[in-house]
Amino acid sequence: MGLLQNGHWVDQWYATEENNGDFVRKNAQLRHWVTANGQAGPSGDAGFKAEANRYHLYVSLACPWAHRTLIFRQLKQLQALIDVTVVEPHMRENGWEFANANGSRIGRHITGAQADPLYQKDFLYQLYQFAKPQYNGRVTVPLLWDKKTNTIVSNESSEIIRMFNSAFNHLTGNDLDYYPQALQQQIDELNNFIYDKINNGVYRSGFATSQAAYEEAFSALFSALDTIESRLTGTRYLLGEHITEADWRLFTTLIRFDSVYVGHFKTNRNTIESMPNISAYLRDLYQQPGIAATVNMTHIKQHYYFSHQHINPTQIVPIGPDIDYLRPHNRADLTT
Ligand SMILES: N[C@@H](CCC(=O)N[C@@H](CS)C(=O)NCC(=O)O)C(=O)O
């Protein structure tokens, strides 16, 4: 696990000392946008026009941020237009590795991880070096790559899913909209709340290096989950009867919660299974067409328990829990 400093790989864990033990996630830096006509998006350069087979998505099946992009690729029927490569779930001193990486591989290959089909790199950081020789920062998934200009379009999942939501509609004919104009303000507000307290909140709990920082993150997390639990009493999804981007962004944290975060990140006031509305809502989302296939619990558990050795020095991956996300959710009658 590490980062690039002026284009050189340095093996280093997150620094929390400067923030009294609090884990502060750095903003993603590579923020161009694919647009329908190639004009510039809200940030970055123009020139990334939506075209079939031009873009490639590098993901980890373990990562909740990358998971969002896989879900949107599925929902928006982009599978035939945008290929995906899955990295190994075990993150070691070289960060994310491709399957069959030369050199430092000491662990075992986990089924489902793949080699880099485009440039035969061993490690994800080498793609960052290739695109940005002087790059400074963490080497993260998801990564949206442009095969035409051999560069990185974006390493920010929240923006990649917005691109997937609309930029390719004219090519796929799929105009399902998970960020409809009329709900954008409400979605943005929910996203901020959920990101801060829940999506990133579990990491702030798990990566905290002081008791105070952990307790603060823990309280904020469970108070936010309580808020969501009551919100979901009378409404099927966060904003009514239609699933929006906000639901999918919450989903990728909820699906990891009981299997990883409760134990590994010490978010153990209670499980999601014990919250009736949220757990049924989670199953409802899981049972949407194509979604279960984006969830790989082996990669998820192997990644967290193995890669964060300072949290789990033995690297033993727990066997349980065994949760059946296919059992009935009984939420279809909620019409709002
Ligand atoms: N803001 C980014 C965050 C992505 C991110 O932090 N991904 C994690 C995996 S879950 C990663 O690759 N971490 C490697 C590192 O920080 O060194 C996004 O949402 O795309």
* 157 lies in the same domain as 193: no
Are 83 and 214 part of one and the same domain? no
Q: Is residue 36, in this structure, part of any structural domain at all?
A: yes
Residue 157: other Cβ atoms inside 10 A: 26
Distance 87 CA to ligand 1 centre (A): 13
Residue whose CA is closest, atom 9 of ligand 1? 63
Q: Which residues are catalytic?
A: 63, 203
Q: How far is the CA of 261 from the centre of ligand 1 (A)?
A: 16
CA of 241 to the centre of ligand 1 (A): 31
CATH number assigned to the domain comprising residue 97: 3.40.30.10
Q: Is 167 found in the same domain as 19?
A: yes
- Cis amide prior to 142 (ω within 30 degrees): yes
Q: Tell me whether residue 74 is in a domain.
A: yes
Does residue 186 sit in the same domain as residue 271? yes
Do 122 and 68 have their domain in common?
A: yes
Asked if ipTM goes beyond 0.90, one says yes
Instruction: Determine which residue's CA is closest to atom 10 belonging to ligand 1.
Output: 63
Let me know whether 152 and 42 are in one domain: yes
Query: Domain ends where: 245, 264, 288?
Result: 288
Helix 64-75 vs helix 245-256: angle between axes, to the nearest 10 degrees? 130
Q: Is 151 part of any domain?
A: yes
Could you tell me if 10 and 41 lie in one domain?
yes
Q: Is residue 153 assigned to a domain? A: yes
Query: Does the annotation flag 140 for ligand binding?
Result: yes
Per residue of the chain (336 residues), give pLDDT as tens. 789 999 999 988 777 777 888 888 888 889 999 999 999 999 999 999 999 999 999 999 999 999 999 999 999 999 999 999 999 999 999 999 999 755 445 556 888 999 999 999 999 999 999 999 999 999 999 999 999 999 999 999 999 999 999 999 999 999 999 999 999 999 999 999 999 999 999 999 999 999 999 999 999 999 999 999 999 999 999 999 999 999 999 999 999 999 999 999 999 999 999 999 999 999 999 999 999 999 999 999 999 999 999 999 999 999 999 999 999 999 999 977
Report residues whose beta carbon is within 6 angstroms of any ligand 1 atom: 1, 28, 63-65, 95, 138-142, 155-158
Q: Which tokens is 264 given?
A: 């590994």
CA of 138 from ligand 1 middle (Å) equals 8
Closest atom of ligand 1 to CA, residue 3: 17
Say which amino acid occupies 82.
Answer: I
The predicted structure's pLDDT at residue 103: 45
Q: What is the largest CA-CA distance in the chain?
A: 55
Give the closest residue to 68 by CA, choosing from 276, 256, 209, 335.
256
- Sheet order of strands, 2-5 included: 8-11, 2-5, 137-138
**Do the domain assignments include residue 309?**
no
* Residue 87: both structure tokens together: 């990295």
Is 157 annotated as a binding-site member?
yes
pLDDT of residue 284: 98
Mutate to test the pocket of ligand 1, among 30, 33, 138 (most ligand atoms within 8 A of CB): 138
Residue 62 makes CB contacts below 8 A (sequence gap 6+) with: 89, 296, 299, 300, 302, 303, 304
Residues 144 and 234 in one domain: no
Copy the structure tokens of residue 285: 């989302």
Burial 170-189 (b: 16+ CB within 10 A, else e): eebeeeebbbeeebeeebee
Which residues span the domain enclosing 257? Answer: 182-288
Residue 1 CA: which ligand 1 atom is closest?
A: 17
- The annotation status of 259 as a binding-site residue, yes or no, is no
Question: Helix, strand, or coil here: 10?
Answer: strand
Chain-centre distance for alpha carbon 135: 22
State which ligand 1 atom lies nearest to the alpha carbon of 156.
Answer: 20
Position 302 scores a pLDDT of 97
- Expressed in angstroms and rounded, the spacing between residue 315 Cα and the centre of ligand 1 is 21
To which H or E segment does residue 8 belong? strand 8-11
Q: Domain count of the chain? A: 2
Q: Check whether 96 is labelled as a binding-site residue.
A: yes
In a domain, 235, yes or no: yes
Residue at 218 is within a domain:
yes
Q: What is the DSSP letter of 67?
A: H
Q: Are residues 260 and 158 in the same domain?
A: no
CATH of the domain at 246: 1.20.1050.10
Distance 157 CA to ligand 1 centre (A): 9
Which residue, judged by its Cα, is nearest atom 5 of ligand 1? 140
- 141: annotated binding-site residue? yes
**What atom in ligand 1 is closest to the CA of residue 138?**
17
| 300: exposed, middle or buried (Cβ count in 10 Å: 0-12, 13-18, 19+) | buried
Same domain flag for 278 and 137: no
Q: Which atom of ligand 1 is least distant from the CA of 64?
A: 10
| One-letter identity of residue 210 | S
For residues 30 and 57, membership in a common domain is answered with yes
Domain shared by 143 and 225, yes or no? no
Could you tell me which of 62, 80, 59 has the C-alpha nearest to residue 70? 59
CB 238 within 8 A of CB 247: yes
Q: Is 282 within a domain? A: yes
pLDDT at 137: 95
Half-sphere exposure of 168 (CA within 13 A, CB side): 26
Distance CA 289, CA 302 (A): 26
- Which of helix, strand or coil describes residue 33? coil
Rounded to whole angstroms, the Cα distance separating 103 from 33 reads 34
Distance of alpha carbon 206 from alpha carbon 307, whole angstroms: 13
